[in-house]
Structure 1
Amino acid sequence: MRHVHPTRPGAPESTLTSDTHAPCRKPGAADTPALPAQQTHSRHTGGLVGFNAASPAEAVALLLSCCHSTRWAERVAAHRPYPTVDALLAAADEAGYDLSRADLDEALAAESSALPHPDAPPAARTALRAAHAAYESSFGHAFVISLDGVRPEERLDQLLAGIRSRLGNEAEEERVVAAEELRRLARARLALRVAQGLTPRHSGP
C-alpha cells in the first residue's frame, strides 16, 4: 500500500496546461474519449475580463465544466472580479483543497475515464479498458489523473502505470490521491477555458 500525503504548498503552483475535457459526463454516451491533449496556453487577460463580467450563471457553468462540484464553482464565481489569471487559479486551488466528502463525490461522479486514441494498438486499448474497469469496480468512480508535462507518446504508459499503482491503495488513501489529481485537473481546465474564452465545454473527458 502506498501512502501519499499531498501537502498544501506555500505558494500557488505554476499554471498547468493539461486539459482532459472530462467533467459533465453524459451517462450512456456511446463513444469513449481519447487521451487528453496536453498543450501550453498563454494567459489571455481578455478571457479573464469576460469571466469577471459574466453573469453568475455563466461563470458557474464554465467552472462546472472544469470541476463538477456545485459548491466549488459557486465559491470561485462569488469572489469575482479577479485581478489576474494567477489570482483566479489560486482561488480555484484553495477551493479545491477545501472540497468536502460530498463535494468530491459530486465531482468524481461527473468524470469519465480517459481512453487512448482509436489509433492506439488494440492491445493497449484492451489493457486500459480492463484497468479502468478494475479501478471503477474497486473505488466506485472514474480514474482521474493529471498528465501535465508528460510527452504525448508517454501518456498511455503513464496512465496505465498510474491506474495499476493506485489499485493497491486503500479506499481512503485513494480518495486523497483522487482529490489532489482532481484539483490539478480543475486548475488546468480553468486556465484553458479562460484562455479560450467564455464558452463552457461539456464532454461526453
Structure 2
Amino acid sequence: MLPSQRGTPPRPLDRLNRATEQAARSELLRCCGSRRWASRLAAHRPYPDTQSLLAAADEASYDLSAEDIGEALAGEAANGGPEHLLAPTGRPGVLAAHTALRAALAKYESEFGHTFVICLDELPPAERLDGMLAALGRRLYATQDEERAVTADELRRLARGRLLRLVVRDVTVGSPSVPD
C-alpha cells in the first residue's frame, strides 16, 4: 500500500463490487424485491462508478416481467407499504389526512390488486403526505395498463434512490456530491 493510500477509506461502491454474489444479491434485494433484478445487477459487477450502477439498474428495471414486478410489489407490501414513508408531523389535520390516506390505499389495492408504490425522494418530508394523497387521487382514475406502467416506473425510481443510499451510506454525512 502506498503511503498516500494509508487510511483512505474505500469508495462506497467498492463494498458492493467486492461482496460475494450472495451478499450483493441480498443487499440489492433491499433496493428492489425482484430476485431477477438483484441477480442481474449482482452478476454485472464490478461497476466502475455510481452512474454505471444506476444505468444497469434502470435497464434491469425496464426488463422486469409482470411476475418480477409482482415479486417486487410483494416485497414492498412486506416492508409496510407506502404508509411507513410518512412520519407524523404534528401539523393540524394530519390525523384526518392519514385517515383519508388509509381509505385511498384500501381503494387502490381493491382496484389494482397490489400495494401502492411511490417514490417520494424528491419531496421534503413535510410535503410527502400531500404528495402521496395527490398521486393516489390521480392514479385511482388510471386504467389497469396505465397504472401498471406507472407502478413499474415508481419501482424503478424507488430502486434508484435505495441504490444511491446503499452506495453512499459510508460517505461522511454532508458530502456535497454523489461519489464516483
Give the TM-score range, shorter chain: 0.7 to 0.9
**1:74 aligns to what?**
39
Larger relative CO (CA 8 A, sep 6+): 1 or 2? 1
Q: Residue 152 of structure 1 aligns to which amino acid in structure 2?
A: P
How far apart in 2 are the matches of 1:131 and 1:191? 30
TM-score (norm 2): 0.81
Residue 203 of structure 1: aligned partner: none
Distance 1:71 1:181 in 2: 18
Which structure has the bigger radius of gyration?
2
What is the CA-CA distance between 1:171 and the residue it aligns to? Answer: 1.1
Q: Is contact 1:75-1:95 (8 Å) kept?
A: yes
5+ residue gaps, structure 1, are 1-43, 198-205
- 2:99 maps to 126
2:112 pairs with one of 135, 139, 148: 139
The more displaced of 120-129 and 73-82 is 120-129
Secondary structure, in 3 states, of the residue corresponding to 1:87?
A: helix
Give me the whole-angstrom Cα distance separating, in 1, the residues matched to 2:57 and 2:103: 33
1:40: which partner in 2?
none
Contiguous gaps of at least 5 residues in structure 2: 1-8, 171-180
Judging by fraction of residues, say which structure has more helix: 2
Match for residue 48 of structure 2 among 73, 83, 91: 83
TM-score where L is the length of structure 1: 0.71
| Residue from 129, 134, 159 that aligns with 1:161 | 134
> Does the CA-based 8 Å contact 1:45-1:85 persist in structure 2?
no
SS in structure 1 of the partner of residue 24 of structure 2:
helix
Tell me the number of residue pairs that the alignment of Structure 1 and Structure 2 aligns. Answer: 154
Counting aligned pairs with the same residue, the percent is 54
SS in 2 for 1:82: coil
